Amino acid sequence: TRQKGSGLGLSISKSIVELHGGCMQVESEPDQGSTFTFTVPTFTPFQVLNDEINRKLAAEEQGESFLLCLIRLRGGTNDEGVARAGDTLPDRLVSELATSGLAVRTTDLVRRHGHNQLVIVANVHANSAPLLLSRWKDQIDRFVDDNHNGTDICVEFGKAVCPNDGTEAGILLDKAEARLAPFSN
């Protein structure tokens, strides 16, 4: 006996696959049944981050400025200080920044980038960027002081402003990385 369904499962599956940039195929033979297959593209973490940043930039109103801040945690040779402090230190910092509300607003994008870097994207007025960077720096310094497990951690900041430095994620990330340096007021 054949069971009948509402037919929504295939429609929902197709929508999900297409939202992820994929496609679905079906092979069917009478009295044999059908085989459904799908493919979705794979993305590197860098591609996902670029896409998230570009979507944030596109979603906001024209004429707004965005501050992209790249934060690198460094310690010892080849970042072994960060590793000794725990591989989860960057993840815990992302969580702290995203949930505390003290330095990062709920509308800001906060993501881990690679082994020892974080990215924050916030819409700001150009003249308030230094104050925002200072708030982020203070909270990050407190977090690192509380979580460094006896290792020496250096925090570096690099920034880029959209639209002044560019309007695409890759360009902004490159400029912020080129400007990485220990924070100073």
pLDDT value, residue 59: 75
pLDDT value, residue 23: 92
Q: Which residues of the chain have pLDDT under 50?
A: 77-78, 81, 85-86, 185
pLDDT value, residue 185: 46
pLDDT value, residue 86: 46
pLDDT value, residue 158: 92
pLDDT value, residue 179: 94
pLDDT value, residue 139: 82
Q: Are 71 and 118 in contact (CB under 8 A)?
A: yes
